[in-house]
Structure 1
Amino acid sequence: MTETQALIENRPPSVASLFLERVEATPEAEAYRYPVPAPSGQGPDSWASLTWRDAADRVFAIAAGLIDLGVRPEERVALASGTRVEWILADLGVMCAGAATTPVYPSTNAEETAFMLGDAECKVIIAEDAAQLAKARKHRAELPGLAHVVVIDAGDATPDAEDPEGWLLSLADLERRGAARLEREPGIVKERVDALRPEQLATLIYTSGTTGRPKGVRLRHDAWAYMARAIEATGLVRPEDVQYLWLPLAHVFGKVLTAGQISVGHVTAVDGRVDKIIENLAVVRPTYMAAVPRIFEKVYNGVAAKAREAGGAKYKIFRWAAEVAREYAKVSQDNFRHTGSKSVPFGLAVKHRAADALVYSKIRDAFGGRLRACVSGASALAPDIGYFFAGAGIHILEGYGLTETSAANFVNPGEAYRTGTVGKPLPGTEVRIADDGEILLRSPGVMEGYHKQPEKTSEVLESDGWFHTGDIGELSADGYLRITDRKKDLIKTSGGKYVAPAEIEGRFKAVCPYVSNVLVHGADRNFCSALIALDGPAILAWAKEQGMEGLPYAEVVAAQETQELIGDYVRQVNEGLQRWQTVKKFRLLPRDLDVEHGELTPSLKLKRPVVEREYKNLIEEMYAGARED
């Protein structure tokens, strides 16, 4: 048995057990950093730290507090909060109490929150603030099993006359209650952890879903313990690392990072405020972080737009440097694949050094100057954007996984990463490609099934453990996976040609620095069309240069000049496509797509049916009376 196999096969039964091991091994090492916001107008935030021992004190108090509230093993405790250190402590507290966490995005509306709390039969909800409390309170009559609400930021969360006695308490109250219970029964939490079995429910997490109501995915303790050890076994993350964690922890991508950290033992700086990312990068100076493709697209578009604003020579230098970066990345990766060396021709190396001094070094500095690698997941990253960052020294390791498979199944292997692929399977994960191209996975991370939906479970999970992902992909001879599209998203035109919309959308995002979201349409049509939403700050900055300063977004996108600008990018993309793939017509949307209107999932995936339904008039307008062959 290899060292990697031993690490995975000898894993503990749960992350709760793993947490206790970590606390015992490195009690005084720094575990978490978190911001302490400064009073308004009084300077930048300061940062505080917790050692593993500090974290354990709070986790045990939360766990004992939940036990004191009557929470039993496998009962559900909802967690409705943004990404913050208390989310991690509360999640660990739930698991150490033997219960199961049901994460809820704070952006989820009251009705859907109530649906999840009711479907999961949550006994307690740990809510971030008064706004999350209000959602539970609004539907309290429909949730008779919800015995308590615990509020993290309890300032404005005051008791209501309608609240049952003891129904509302603060997180501080819960921890005090837990500390008192621990004084009476010092071993109660450890007893719960020791009693955990690998097959027990640890997380009941609802898919945000690009169609229909969310489904509850049942993930066992063993799934997270496996993920933690498999991440450690890749060697991509090191004990000396500093991770910057801002991803939504209600999403499995964010949550799996917390499991991996416990296994490896590195520092994690936690702050989910997206508007603070740029500021925090300079302070945290991470060595690695994970993100979704939209963040890299926004960074790229922002850099490109800033160069364009500078005009003249600076914009020409940026465009030249961008092409050098892509060429350098492609050549070095190709050489590494065939020879094991990332050497490039002398002339390209000279150009790259010059571009580094002029452009790339500034981009690396913006990421804090110490970033060894980023992990990108949740959706596809446009290869041209990946190659740009690779050439600039920001190494983006694309990965792949699903809620139903505990988030991490494939990741690119460090120095041997290949842009445009999601890398190789994690140790302990099996993969095969079905006859129709669908990716099938089997691993300890695969879900137990969908909560209360055995018929839905049987549609995707075979009796021998193989999970049907719904994604189409290709495996290289040496095991690298390339995702080509969602099986259900493939377009078949009326001419019988299959089109992968994600491929075209990715190409467009790589060439157009003004795009925010794009949806390619064409199912049962005789040509492809596109709905395009532009990035507000980028297009308004361009509009200012064109003499349209002060005009609102909707008027800017409706202007003829803007239509022509985007039309040029559409034509540029079309030049590299097959005839049946080309976008013949497009419409610019009057506003960007967002989570609030239900057009994007909280992890920023496009909800195609929602967008196509909302903008049906624009789609029909593009096809009305037209014949494009």
Structure 2
Amino acid sequence: MGNTEVVEFYDTHLHYLLHWEKQIPDKDYCVQPTANGEVIHYTWGQVAQQVRSMASYLLSLNLPSKSSIAIYGKNSAHWLMADLAIWMAGHISVPLYPTLNAEGASYVLEHSEAKLLFIGKLDGKADSWNDVKKIIPENFPCICLPLAPEYDAPKWNEIIQNVQPLVNPTLPNKDDLATIVYTSGSTGLPKGVMQTFSTLLAGANEMRNTFGVTSSDRALSYLPLAHVAERIFIQSSSMVCGYTVYFANSLETFIEDLNRAKPTVFFSVPRLWTKFYLGINEKIPPHVQKILFKIPVLGNVIKKKLLAKLGLNHVRYAFTASAPLPIDIILWYRNLGLELLEIYGMTENCGYSHATKVGQFAEGYVGHAQPKVECKIDENGEILVKSPGTMLGYYKNPEKTAEDITADGFLRTGDMGEIDAVGRLKITGRIKDIFKTSKGKYVMPVPTEQKIGNNELVESVCVGGSSLPQPVAFIMLAEDVRNHLKQNGKRDEVEATLKSLRLKINEALESHEKLSFMVVINEPWTMENDLLTPTMKIKRNKIESRYEPSLEKWALLKQEVVWE
């Protein structure tokens, strides 16, 4: 271990910040592209200085000790710095999703009793700024980060030029409340999950222990930092390991940003892994890939080129989490030579629960319990997990906390599962997702959705239909398929594929689970129309209620595939 590596584990992110400031002050910590094409590099020394200065300013405001301070914006170097400054000033950070609607933002600011709001990188295009700016109360204290939209509030850069940085900051304890993370709310109002420095660092410590991640690694930050997964993978892990974080500028520049970062560790969600996969399939059809991959020597060259095209050719470890990724797609990446590992966890345990170990991948399993994690299956089939990442509880909601955490400290995950002979966990569905058809039979939608999701025509799927005798599948076609249909309007081929897919899937299902028909939906599910959560999971209840009024009419058509 070189002298740039941490020899010990520290209690909080601030201890790590001060460590790296001393050890590697001139090494890049954050690399930030801007809309005008400029790329700004911030070293550990510069980040620490800016954090010390902003913390000094926050202290000068004389807010009550441990006040909630909100951060609202897309990922940026200053999002991380704002979070660290909040902590250095002895306060608690409350992140808001950049796509959170006005009602949700208003609820979080009020419920968390936020005393100040950091406004970050927003432009009103792929975010909710245009609506949210209208609900910020008049005279509510705000600070604009660099890259923030025009707003009448003090600017970060001006503030830090006019204050003396804190020289000897008071550092928090590991078990102090660090942040309140509001769940993405796939059902009901968001809940404020209270996490400490210790719980936030649990998964990051494992990045160093299990995967040997060091300060020479690189990562790209583009999934919302307001979500616990990115907070652990990007913020906590870079603090523990000292690696450089590159930011993405926009969706349009994503591949360029990825190629700048050349990440060595990479984390994504199933929707994006699927998009990458479908993008390659559009250029090289799967049947052609199969032939090419089998050619000795040349096959390996082509696989390497494909990874390079995706910007993933330097990746040592790649992770997928937040929802099941179809097995065919996992195997496709692994065949390319990408060690794609599944991670399972929740906001409530800081994502620190289960992970696929290198060389121990098994189809359909999310892997083994992480070190110091206990897992068991309850009598009703629910997965219970006891983890060093488990939350203190839900903010201002002791009843829900008591409901979700057992007396002996196990978190009720709401997922159903089974554990194999060697301790690997398989998720079989969500307890709340199970629905009853009009015949009174119970249907578990997730396994059927996974089978449908394996087809390359399909980007996303939701199985529902509780008002009908048999379930139905709502299908969102892949983007390239949607574009193709728009151009030539010929549905026959797609319809034929979906019909045979339905027959094939129904063969393997119990009689009460068989799909009566498939509905190809018209308007894609997005975060903007509130049918996807910020981590791109489907909002099942919203999707079902959207199509529920048409179900009977569609059933009367007696068609295997219905086009909305």
C-alpha distance in structure 2 between counterparts of 1:285 and 1:154, whole Å:
24
CA contact (8 A) 1:11 1:225 kept: no
Aligned counterpart in structure 2 of residue 174 of structure 1, from 155, 159, 163:
159
Aligned counterpart in structure 1 of residue 145 of structure 2, from 141, 152, 164:
152
Alignment correspondent of 2:289: 318
1:354 to partner: Cα distance: 5.2
CA contact (8 A) 2:199 2:390 kept: yes
Aligned counterpart in structure 2 of residue 139 of structure 1, from 107, 112, 135:
135
C-alpha distance in structure 2 between counterparts of 1:496 and 1:360, whole Å:
52
CA contact (8 A) 1:472 1:483 kept: yes
Secondary structure of the equivalent of 1:416?
A: coil
Deviations 1:449-484 (A, max 9, x none): 111111111110123211101011122222221211
Q: Does 1:465 align with 2:465?
A: no
With over 3 angstroms needed to count, the CA separation of the structure-2 counterparts of 1:57 and 1:509, relative to structure 1, is same
Secondary structure of the equivalent of 1:123?
A: strand
Deviations 1:518-573 (A, max 9, x none): 111144743221111123333323664xx43xxxxxxx7xx555433432333344
Deviations 1:297-347 (A, max 9, x none): 111122222335xxxxxx6313556xx7xxxxxxxxxxxxxxxxxxxxxxx
Q: How does 1:87-98 map to 2 (within 5 A)?
A: 87-98=79-90
Q: How does 1:263-412 map to 2 (within 5 A)?
A: 263-271=240-248, 273-308=250-285, 316-318=287-289, 320=291, 355-358=299-302, 361-412=305-356
Q: How does 1:15-54 map to 2 (within 5 A)?
A: 15-38=13-36, 45-54=37-46
Deviations 1:498-534 (A, max 9, x none): 54322222222212x2322211114474322111112
1:286 to partner: Cα distance: 1.4
Q: Which amino acid aligns with 2:90?
A: G
Aligned counterpart in structure 2 of residue 204 of structure 1, from 158, 168, 180:
180
Q: Which amino acid aligns with 2:552?
A: E
CA contact (8 A) 2:73 2:97 kept: yes
Q: Does 1:78 align with 2:109?
A: no
1:201 to partner: Cα distance: 1.4
With over 3 angstroms needed to count, the CA separation of the structure-2 counterparts of 1:415 and 1:245, relative to structure 1, is farther
CA contact (8 A) 1:113 1:135 kept: no
Q: Which amino acid aligns with 1:581?
A: E
Q: Which amino acid aligns with 2:345?
A: G
CA contact (8 A) 1:375 1:398 kept: yes
Aligned counterpart in structure 1 of residue 201 of structure 2, from 221, 225, 241:
225
Determine what percentage of the aligned residue pairs are the same residue.
26
Alignment correspondent of 1:515: 458
With over 3 angstroms needed to count, the CA separation of the structure-2 counterparts of 1:120 and 1:317, relative to structure 1, is same
With over 3 angstroms needed to count, the CA separation of the structure-2 counterparts of 1:236 and 1:353, relative to structure 1, is farther
C-alpha distance in structure 2 between counterparts of 1:595 and 1:624, whole Å:
32
Alignment correspondent of 1:592: 524
Higher helix share: 1
CA contact (8 A) 1:514 1:539 kept: no
Alignment correspondent of 1:530: 473
Aligned counterpart in structure 2 of residue 603 of structure 1, from 535, 538, 553:
535
Computed over aligned residues only, the root mean square deviation of the Cα atoms, in angstroms, reads 2.8
C-alpha distance in structure 1 between counterparts of 2:246 and 2:517, whole Å:
45
1:357 to partner: Cα distance: 4.0
CA contact (8 A) 2:34 2:249 kept: no
Listed as ranges, the gaps of 5+ residues in structure 2 are: 1-5
C-alpha distance in structure 1 between counterparts of 2:411 and 2:396, whole Å:
18
Alignment correspondent of 1:615: 547
C-alpha distance in structure 1 between counterparts of 2:44 and 2:32, whole Å:
14
Alignment correspondent of 1:338: none
CA contact (8 A) 2:98 2:129 kept: no
Q: Which amino acid aligns with 1:538?
A: V
Secondary structure of the equivalent of 1:169?
A: coil
CA contact (8 A) 1:23 1:53 kept: yes
1:53 to partner: Cα distance: 1.2
Alignment correspondent of 1:164: none
Secondary structure of the equivalent of 1:93?
A: helix
Alignment correspondent of 2:3: none
Aligned counterpart in structure 1 of residue 97 of structure 2, from 96, 105, 127:
105
Q: Does 1:68 align with 2:60?
A: yes
Alignment correspondent of 1:259: 236
Q: Which amino acid aligns with 2:218?
A: V
Secondary structure of the equivalent of 2:154?
A: strand
CA contact (8 A) 1:14 1:198 kept: yes
1:382 to partner: Cα distance: 1.0
CA contact (8 A) 2:343 2:367 kept: yes
Deviations 1:381-403 (A, max 9, x none): 11111111111112211101111
C-alpha distance in structure 2 between counterparts of 1:517 and 1:412, whole Å:
24
CA contact (8 A) 2:144 2:151 kept: no
Q: Which amino acid aligns with 1:398?
A: E
Q: Which amino acid aligns with 2:549?
A: N
C-alpha distance in structure 1 between counterparts of 2:310 and 2:41, whole Å:
24
Secondary structure of the equivalent of 1:124?
A: strand
Deviations 1:271-293 (A, max 9, x none): 26233222222222211210000
Listed as ranges, the gaps of 5+ residues in structure 1 are: 1-6, 39-44, 160-167, 309-314, 325-349, 549-555
1:358 to partner: Cα distance: 4.5
CA contact (8 A) 2:99 2:528 kept: yes
Q: Does 1:246 align with 2:190?
A: no
Alignment correspondent of 1:59: 51
CA contact (8 A) 1:82 1:272 kept: no
CA contact (8 A) 1:22 1:263 kept: no
Q: Which amino acid aligns with 2:110?
A: G
CA contact (8 A) 1:386 1:420 kept: no
C-alpha distance in structure 2 between counterparts of 1:435 and 1:272, whole Å:
47
Q: Which amino acid aligns with 1:307?
A: I
CA contact (8 A) 1:133 1:157 kept: no
Q: Which amino acid aligns with 2:58?
A: L
Secondary structure of the equivalent of 2:388?
A: coil
TM-score, normalised to structure 2, is: 0.89
